[in-house]
Amino acid sequence: MTLASYNGPPDAPVNAPVDAIVRLTDLTLGYRRHPAVHHLSGGFREGSLTAVVGPNGAGKSTLLKAVVGALKPFDGKVTLHGLTARDIGYLPQQAEVERDFPIDVLDTVLLGHWRRVGIFRAIGRTLTRQAEEALAAVGLAGFERRPIGALSAGQFQRVLFARLLVQDARLILLDEPFTAIDARTTADLLDVVRRWHGERRTVVAVLHDMEQVRAHFPDTLLLAREPVAWGRTDEALNPANLARARMMAEAWDDKAEVCRRSSS
């Protein structure tokens, strides 16, 4: 039995809390008819801090894209409760930003004010001070007029976190925020994540480092195309679940049959 034609019911626990700010209903996502996320149901509680982990190709980034609305589901749906797509702060993987663009650090952070200033409104002293404070919070005070092309990868990631701080989003989605980032920067930025958690913001982060997840993230979604486990981190990341996730990884079968679990 190949994984792609696996038709049995998912035996991962379905996590659907009543106070979910984002609810996923039988969500199937993917590219070119091949599912990257398969029949995922559940929700992210308001104020929760969730790590999304799983093998490469498990559909973690795909899931975030669907939540911000950049990807249309094959099946099922994403429901936002009490917030719109513009209340979401989304940090995609680094490769999607034009790093040699001639813009300086402060201007990049000021973009976080977009919802308040839009296309035309002026950015006043208050908003600029907020951006400067955000830069100080990520340890980049004094870098305001540096071109972003002159920053290291770690410094640039700090800039993007500062922009998220300014954005003042209720739901924050981070896609591999600490990949290829030095340990000190990671520690500083994890402090920022904890601060968000303390402010009752909902944070979902795609991560690889299990130690990091165990240390800082109360909830975990273990994804291997199929949801493997979703719940408290120490339960979700038990050895049995991890072994199962490894086994299910990276199944892209060109001749896979059409899934019969689909609702239509």
Partner 1 sequence: MTLFDLTAGPFLEFAFMRRALAACLALSLGCGPVGVLLVLRRMSLMGDAMSHAVLPGAAIGFLAAGLSLWAMGIGGFLAGLAVALLAGLVSRVTALREDASFAAFYLISLAGGVLIVSLRGSNVDLMHVLFGTILAVDDAGLLLVAGIATVTLLTLALLYRPMVLECFDSGFLRAVGGAGGRLGAACHLVFLVLVVLNLVGGFQALGTLMAVGLMMLPAASARFWAEGVVALALIAMGLAFASGIGGLLLSFHFNLPSGPAIVLAAGGGYLLSLTLGPVGSLRTRWFPGRHREA
Which positions touch partner 1 (CB under 8 A)? 68-70, 85-86, 88, 90, 92, 96-98, 101-104, 108, 111, 114-115, 118-120, 147, 149, 167
Determine contact, residues 250/225, Cβ cutoff 8 Å.
no
Q: How far is the CB of 7 from partner 1 (least distance, A)?
A: 30
- Tokens coding 95: 């490769």
Smallest gap from residue 101 Cβ to partner 1 (A): 4
Nearer to partner 1 among residue 38 and residue 158 (C-beta) = 158
Q: Are strands 49-53 and 219-224 parallel, antiparallel or unpaired?
A: parallel
Instruction: Please say which residue, 59 or 92, places its beta carbon nearer to partner 1.
Output: 92
State which residue, 82 or 102, has the beta carbon closest to partner 1. 102
State which residue, 90 or 196, has the beta carbon closest to partner 1. 90
Instruction: Give me the least distance between CB of 188 and partner 1, in Å please.
Output: 19
- What residues pair up with 21 in beta bridges, in sequence order? none
Compute the least distance from the CB of residue 65 to partner 1, in Å: 9
Q: Which two tokens stand for residue 45?
A: 């509680």
**Shortest reach from residue 121's CB to partner 1, in Å:** 10
Inter-residue contact 133 to 90 (CB < 8 Å): no
CB of 50 to partner 1, least distance (A): 19
247 membership: H or E segment, kind and range: helix 239-247
Residue with Cβ nearer partner 1 (29 or 229): 29
For partner 1, which is the closer residue by CB, 149 or 198? 149
What letter does residue 256 receive in the DSSP assignment? P
| Amino acid symbol at 98 | E
Q: Is the CB of residue 233 less than 8 Å from the CB of residue 17?
A: no
Cα separation, 115 vs 10, in Å, equals 40
HSE, side-chain direction, 13 A CA sphere, residue 212: 21
Whose Cβ is closer to partner 1: residue 86's or residue 246's?
A: 86
Tokens of 72: 């249309």
Least Å distance between CB 93 and partner 1? 10
Coil, strand or helix at 68: helix
Alpha helices in 2-55 (DSSP H): none
Single out the residue of 176, 255, 243, 248 nearest to residue 212, CA to CA. 176
For residue 224, which amino acid is it?
A
